[in-house]
Amino acid sequence: MICCQTINIYEKTAYFPLHSWKSAERPSFTFEILDTTSLYNIFFVLRHEDAYNYNNIWVNLTVKGPTEVVTVRREFILGNNRQGWLGSGMDDIFEHRISFSDKPAPLHKGKYTFTLQQDMREDPLDHILNAGIRVEKVK
């Protein structure tokens, strides 16, 4: 029996050519939801070099949806001393896809814009290649 299969409906990342993410750089991603009968998983996507100095990242996320605008500050754990980096890696590049919530959520019909801002003490935040979002429909 197959349960909770997902279908990718949107994934996009911003590229930081100097491998440095300034807090003033706030990449935005817009997509449209047509199917309101499904549930959705939403992920934060991050690619960084092995030289990244922290095992976490704090991000301000603003979601402008068809019915409201919400801003939240979230910490995403990228690694720990026991396991090292938690994302998948190749050579010295690591990619993380970390869910924004513990369970899938319903979304209203309409356009959504997600805006990301790094909120770390280090500014610019070095060794960051990409940041973005991924939205999957739960089947």
- Span 104-122, pLDDT tens digits: 989 999 999 999 999 999 9
Query: CA 129, 50, 43, 57 torsion: positive or negative?
Result: negative
The C-alpha atoms of residue 93 and residue 88 are separated, in whole angstroms, by 8
Contact 121, 13 (CB under 8 A): no
Question: Which is more confidently placed, 3 or 74?
Answer: 74
- Span 58-69, pLDDT tens digits: 999 999 999 999
Report the predicted TM-score, pTM, of the whole model to 2 decimal places: 0.90
What pLDDT is recorded for position 1?
A: 43
Can you give the residue ranges of every domain in the chain?
Answer: 6-138
Judged against a pLDDT cut of 50, whether residue 90 lies above it is answered with yes
Q: Hey, what CATH topology would domain 6-138 get?
A: Jelly Rolls (2.60.120)
